[in-house]
Structure 1
């Protein structure tokens, strides 16, 4: 049995007419505010950052609430997945992204290249990376920026 659903033109029109109004991101955020970041949450992030399971450390590396000193410590984590999560996190400090731009892992450097908040000097360095994949990601991101 196929999971593809084909709607008639009348069904599609009815769905359009009954569709809820779309909210802007700001309106959605106002309706669903994030809980405040407490000292308890920061203590938990610090504790989980040294957990033996790398998947748990990845969740800390992916958090927008991770303290800067924990970001710095995770930059030298032995697990590539943890460093990759750190490289793609938009909250990672620029100095940590600079460190990760020299990572031995092509995957980590690739995530640094596509991070929206990576400093320009890091992008220039990655444009000359030894990895063709990393150079291609830098070129792709530059083309996206130029298209705006």
Structure 2
């Protein structure tokens, strides 16, 4: 039996264990996808924090109906910048505030890296 099919069996048979599966650091991307499609906000929010989440799932979760999930996507350093920009322009003020902070932080990091490169080349 394939490893991911064991996880799929757990997900399909034991809804009460979805959070346990979501907190496991070794699950493959296919299982991450199943969990991100799950209706439980807490499970999706747990994954929205993960830096190892594939880009397509980060993008997908940026459209999640839950503002908690969208805030976590906005704060995730691995979230695509275009998704974060879209969240910054959204109607949910809390999500937009987190996204704007992330964008400003990202700009500061880029400027700092550019300055350190310029200093090294002097």
Q: TM-score, normalised by structure 2?
A: 0.75
Instruction: Quickly say closer, same or farther: Cα 1:58–1:95, change in 2 above 3 A.
Output: same
Residue 85 (structure 2) aligns with:
124
Please list every run of at least 4 consecutive aligned residues from structure 1 whose deviation after the TM superposition is greater than 3 angstroms: 42-50
1:146 aligns with 2:107: yes
The corresponding residue for 1:77 is 38
The structure with more radius of gyration: 1
User: Is the contact between residue 61 and residue 89 of structure 1 (CA under 8 Å) also seen in structure 2?
Assistant: no
Partner of 2:117: none
Superposition TM-score, scaled by structure 1 size? 0.63
Contact 1:64–1:91, Cα closer than 8 Å, also in 2? no
Gapped regions of structure 2 (runs ≥ 5): 110-122
Question: Is 1:52 matched with 2:19?
Answer: no
* 1:105 aligns to 2:34 (yes or no): no
Structure 1 residues 97, 52: CA separation in 2 closer, same or farther (over 3 Å shift)?
A: same
Measured in 1, the distance between the counterparts of 2:36 and 2:67 equals 15
Q: Which runs of 5+ in 1 are unaligned?
A: 1-38
Cα RMSD between the aligned structures? 1.9
Distance 2:54 2:73 in 1: 12
Confirm whether residue 68 of structure 1 aligns to residue 36 of structure 2.
no
Higher relative contact order (CA 8 A, sep 6+): 2
Corresponding residue for residue 136 of structure 1:
97
